Structure 1
Amino acid sequence: MNRRQFLSIAGAFAGCAGSVGDAFAFSRSDPPSSIRTLVLVDLDGGNDALNTVIPIADPRYRALRPNLAISKDRALMLDERTALHPSLLPLMNAWRANDMAIVQGVGYDAPNRSHFRSRQIWDTASHADEYRADDLFDRVKDTHGANVIRVTLHGFDTHENQAHRHAALLARLAEGLASLRASLIASGDWNRTLVMTRSEFGRAARENAAGGTEHGAGAAHFMMGGNVRGGLFGMPPRLDRLDADGGLPVGVDLRRLYATAIPACWRFDAAAILGQRVEPLPLLRV
C-alpha cells in the first residue's frame, strides 16, 4: 500500500490530523510475519474508556452513570461481563477474527489530569515525576525497522453533552479502523501492520451534572493487526476501587504497550529505549 492509498483510507477519520510519510511502502521481501508499520491512533482529550469497553454486568456502572450508561440491549457483548459501545460495531469483525486485542486498565502511577502533561508522559514513556523532551519513537527513527504513522482524532474531552458526542467519535474511530483493516487485508499487508490507540487519560467513573465526565486515570486501549492475538487483556474496571478523584485504577503500565510493540517492530530489546525492563503483554504472535 502506498501513501496515496493510505490517505484515502485516513479520510474515514474525518477531521483527524496525521503524519503518514511513506509508511505503507511495504517491501515484498519482508516475511509475512514481519511488522513493518506501527499506526498510533491518538484519541485526543481523554477518551471515556468506561463507555467504550463497558463492564456491563457490574451494577455500579449504572449507579454511577444513570444517564450515560449504555443499556445491555444496545451494547455489543464480548462476553458475559464485558461489552463495547454500539458505535464500535464496525470493529466486531476484527474481534471475531481474533486480530483485535483490548487492554484494560492502562495508565501510569500518580496519574496527572493535565492534558499537556499527560500527553507528554505518553509521548516520552516517562514516569509522572520524570521530565523528558524526546519523543519515544524519535529514539528509534534512525533504526532499521518499522515506520510509524500517527493519526489524531480530536474531541474526546467530553465534559458536557457526552452521549451524542462520544457516540459520533467512536463511530468515526471504528469506521476508520475497519476501513484500514479491510484495505490491508485485501493488499496482503495486515500481518505487517500493528495498530495501537492512545489517549492521555480515561475519564471519571461518575457522570457530572452537565451530562459529561471529568478527567480520569486508567483506560482501555485497542491493539489490532494480523499478528495480534485477539481477546481481553489487562485489568477490568474496578468500580469499587476508584481513586480519590473518581478515576479508574491503573492495572497496566502504559510502557507495557510499548514493550510489546517495540521488539516486534524493531527487533531489539525495548529496555534499550524505555530505560528499564518492562514486561510485554502476551498479545502478539511474533
Structure 2
Amino acid sequence: MPQHHPQHLLRARRGRAPGPVPAPRRSGDDATAGSATATACGCPEDGPTRRSVLGALGVGALAAAAGTGTSTRVAMAAPGYTGDVLVVLSLRGGFDGLSAVAPVGDPAYAALRPDIGVPGQAALMLDRTFGLHPSLRALKPLYDSGQLGVVHAVGQASRSRSHFSAMEEMERAAPGTSLRTGWLDRTLGTRGQLSPLAALQVGSPIASSGFAGPVPEVTMRTIGTFVMDGPDTDVERARWNQALRTLHGEGPRTVSAAGLAAVDAVERLRAVPDAGARGLYPTGELGDALCDVARLVRARAGVQVVAVDSGDWDMHAGLGRHDRGWMSEKLTELGNALAAFARDLGPLMSGVTLMTLSEFGRRAGQNGSGGLDHGHANAVLMMGGGVVGGRVHGRWPGLGGSQLDDGALAGTTDYRTVVAEVLQKRCGAGSLAEVLPGLPSVAPLGVVRARA
C-alpha cells in the first residue's frame, strides 16, 4: 500500500524501495507485526493492527523519509541521561529458543525432535544442560568471556498464538490494563525533555508498537538514505534548512514542532561519521541495521532506545538440520551480526545493553512437515558490558510430558522481570509502576550488574 505524506513536509532522497522484497518462503510464513511487507502464510491471524495500518498510510508521519514512502517520526533525549543505550532486537515470527539454545542435556529433547533437533555432539556446550546451536558459533567466545548471557523459559501472560496479537501484547507490556501505549514509549516518557535521536527504529520504516504513544520516534532504513530530497550542495542545503525553519516557525505547534525537529534530525544524522566498519557485518538488513546502530553509539548522538527487527523466523515446515537449511542459515546471520556489533563497538559496549525478544517460542516437538508450530516460552539473548554473561539464567521447567505447557516449553520467567532489571540497573529507572504496571514483585534474576 503506498504511503502518502502532507506535501508541506520534507521528502527524502530516493533510497531503497518502500519495503524489503522478501525472498521466497520455504514454507508458509506470515507478515510479522511491524513489517512493511505483508505476505500470507496460512497462520490464522486477527488481521493487520491499527498501528500497522496507520503506519502504512503515513498517518502522523513527520518531515522526512528514509526512502520513497518511508515515514519518519521524530523524538525530542534527556541531555543528562547517563544510562545504557538499550537495543531491543525483535525476532519476529516466533523465534525457536529450543534450537538456538538447545537443552541437549534434557532427556526428552532428542525424542521430541528426532530430525531437526541439535545433536548433543554438535552443540556448543554452555553447561550440563544447554548448548548453542552450531550456527551460533560466532557467539561462543562472547559467552565464554562473559559478554553474552541467556535467559531461558521466558514467557508472557498472553496466551495468544497470533503473531500480531502476541507481539502487540509483548510490546505493550501492560497485561490486564487498558493502556494502549508501548513500554518503550512509557520508558522515554519518564525522562523529561528528549533530543531528536533519543528513540530510533533502525532498518524499518514502521515503528515497533513498543513506541506507540505520545513520545515520537525516528524511523529509518539506513542512515545513508535518511537525507533531504532536493539540495545537492552545502549552500543549497543551508538555504533549504532556513526556508523550512521559516516555513514551520509560524504554524500550529503540533505541525511546526514536527517539521523543525525533522530538519534537526536530518542534519544530526548527516553528521554521524562512517567508521567504514560495514565489512565486519554479514550481508543483509540485520547487518545494515546493527552497523548503523553502532555508528550512532560511537558518535554519541543522544540515542537512548533503539528498536531493530529481524523477521522470517516462522518455520512451520522445512526448518532443516543442525548443519544446513533454513534455521541454520538464519542463526548464522544472527550470530555473525551480533558478534560483529560487539567487535565493532569494542569498549563502548560497556554502555550498551542488547536484548532479543520474540512474540512466542515454538512447540517442543517437531511436526509432520519438519518444522515447528507456535508455542509459548523462549530464550532471550542478552549482550553488553553490564550483562552477567557466561550463564543461562532462569529456572528450567523440563521437557517431559507433564512439564510442557500444551506441548510447548513452559514459561518460568516473565519477560517483564528481565526488562525491569535492565531498566533499573542499566538505564537509571526508578519506580516502574508507570512503565510496567502490575508487574509482580519478584527477586531480580541477576542478569545484569548495576552501573557504577
TM-score (norm 2): 0.54
SS for the counterpart of 2:120 is: coil
CA distance in 1, matches of 2:74, 2:382: 22
The match for 2:330 is 169
Counting aligned pairs with the same residue, the percent is 32
Letter in 2 for 1:255: R
Q: Are the structure 2 counterparts of residues 275 and 207 from structure 1 closer, same or farther at C-alpha, using a change threshold of 3 Å?
A: same
Q: Are the structure 2 counterparts of residues 204 and 80 from structure 1 closer, same or farther at C-alpha, using a change threshold of 3 Å?
A: same
Maintained 8 Å contact 2:418/2:447 = no
The match for 2:387 is 228
Maintained 8 Å contact 2:316/2:370 = yes
Maintained 8 Å contact 1:65/1:207 = yes
The match for 1:135 is 182
The match for 2:364 is 205
1:55: Cα distance to partner?
1.0
SS for the counterpart of 1:284 is: coil
Check if 1:266 corresponds to 2:314. Answer: no
The match for 1:238 is 398
- The correspondence of residues 183-202 of structure 1 with structure 2, limited to 5 A, is 183-185=344-346, 188-202=347-361
> 1:152 is matched with which residue: 279, 295, 309?
309
Maintained 8 Å contact 1:35/1:191 = no
> 1:255 is matched with which residue: 407, 416, 421?
416
The match for 2:169 is 121
The match for 2:202 is none
Letter in 2 for 1:60: A
**Please, what is the CA RMSD of the aligned residues?**
2.8
Maintained 8 Å contact 1:109/1:250 = no
Letter in 1 for 2:364: A
CA distance in 1, matches of 2:384, 2:114: 36
Letter in 2 for 1:281: L
Letter in 2 for 1:93: P
CA distance in 2, matches of 1:233, 1:104: 6
Maintained 8 Å contact 1:44/1:199 = yes
> 1:58 is matched with which residue: 106, 110, 114?
106
Check if 1:276 corresponds to 2:438. Answer: yes
Q: Are the structure 2 counterparts of residues 256 and 205 from structure 1 closer, same or farther at C-alpha, using a change threshold of 3 Å?
A: same
1:93: Cα distance to partner?
1.4
Maintained 8 Å contact 2:146/2:387 = yes
Maintained 8 Å contact 1:205/1:247 = yes
Q: Are the structure 2 counterparts of residues 113 and 65 from structure 1 closer, same or farther at C-alpha, using a change threshold of 3 Å?
A: same
1:281: Cα distance to partner?
2.6
1:155: Cα distance to partner?
0.5
CA distance in 1, matches of 2:167, 2:431: 24
CA distance in 2, matches of 1:168, 1:132: 38
Letter in 1 for 2:180: A
Runs (5+) with no aligned partner, structure 2:
1-21, 24-33, 37-65, 67-71, 193-197, 199-302
The match for 1:69 is 117
CA distance in 1, matches of 2:315, 2:143: 26
Letter in 2 for 1:53: V
The match for 2:296 is none
1:22: Cα distance to partner?
11
> 1:93 is matched with which residue: 124, 141, 145?
141
SS for the counterpart of 2:184 is: helix
Moved more, 223-232 or 203-212: 223-232
SS for the counterpart of 2:396 is: coil
Q: Are the structure 2 counterparts of residues 50 and 85 from structure 1 closer, same or farther at C-alpha, using a change threshold of 3 Å?
A: same
CA distance in 2, matches of 1:21, 1:170: 31
Deviation track 1:219-249 (CA, whole Å, cap 9, x = no partner) reads: 11011101111111112252121122x1110
Q: Are the structure 2 counterparts of residues 237 and 159 from structure 1 closer, same or farther at C-alpha, using a change threshold of 3 Å?
A: farther
1:131: Cα distance to partner?
5.0
Maintained 8 Å contact 1:55/1:237 = no
1:62: Cα distance to partner?
1.1
1:70: Cα distance to partner?
1.0
Q: Are the structure 2 counterparts of residues 97 and 272 from structure 1 closer, same or farther at C-alpha, using a change threshold of 3 Å?
A: same
Letter in 1 for 2:345: L
Q: Are the structure 2 counterparts of residues 120 and 88 from structure 1 closer, same or farther at C-alpha, using a change threshold of 3 Å?
A: same
Moved more, 132-141 or 150-159: 132-141
**Residue correspondences, number:** 263
Deviation track 1:69-97 (CA, whole Å, cap 9, x = no partner) reads: 11122111111221010111111111011
Work out which of the two has the higher radius of gyration on C-alpha atoms and give 1 or 2. Answer: 2
The match for 2:291 is none
Maintained 8 Å contact 2:363/2:408 = yes
Moved more, 117-126 or 276-285: 276-285
Runs (5+) with no aligned partner, structure 1:
1-13
1:53: Cα distance to partner?
1.0
Deviation track 1:129-163 (CA, whole Å, cap 9, x = no partner) reads: 54542111111224159611111111011000012
1:167: Cα distance to partner?
1.2
